[in-house]
Structure 1
Amino acid sequence: MTRSTSRDRAADLGFFLFAAVFSVLTADNALAGRELSPGALLADQLTGGLACAALFLRRRLPVQLAAALLVAGSFSHFVTGPALVAVFTVAAHRPPRVTRWIAVLAAAPGPLFLLRQSELSTTAVASGITYYALVTCAFGWGLYIRSRQRLVAELRERAERAGEEARRQAREDIAREMHDVLAHRLSLLSVHAGALEFRPDAPPEDVRRASAIIRAGAHQALEDLREIIGVLRLPAGEDAPERPQPTLADLPRLADESRAAGTEVDLSLRADRSAEPRAVTGRTVYRIVQEGLTNARKHAPGAPVSVTVSGAPGTGLTVEVRNPLVPHAPSSPVPGAGQGLTGLAERTHLAGGRLEHGRGEGRFVLRAWLPWEADGDAPAVAPAGGAAGRG
Structure 2
Amino acid sequence: MDSYSVTVVGPSGSGKTVYLASLFRRLAVNREEVGFFVQTDFSSAKLLNHTYGEITRPGAWPGGTILDRVQELAFTCSVRSPHGVFSPFAIKYVDYGGGLLTDVYEDGATAADEIEDRLHKANVLLVFLDGMKVVNYLEGDSRLVDELVPVFNQLQDSTAVIHFVITKWDLLHHTRTLKEVASSLLDHPEFSGFVDHHARMNERAGAIRLFPVSSVGLDFTDRGADGQMVKRPGARPHPLNVEIPFAAVLPDLFEQASQMLVDPAPDEGLEQRGRLVARLRGISGLLPTAKKVLLKRAAASPALAGLGEGIIDTVSDWADSRLNVYEGRLEADRARHRAEAEKIASNREAVKHLVEAFELLLADFERAYPGSQLSSRA
More helix by share: 1
Say which structure, 1 or 2, has more relative contact order (CA 8 Å, 6+ apart).
2
What TM-score, normalized to structure 2?
0.22
Larger strand fraction of residues: 2
Larger Cα-atom Rg: 1
TM-score with structure 1 setting the length: 0.21
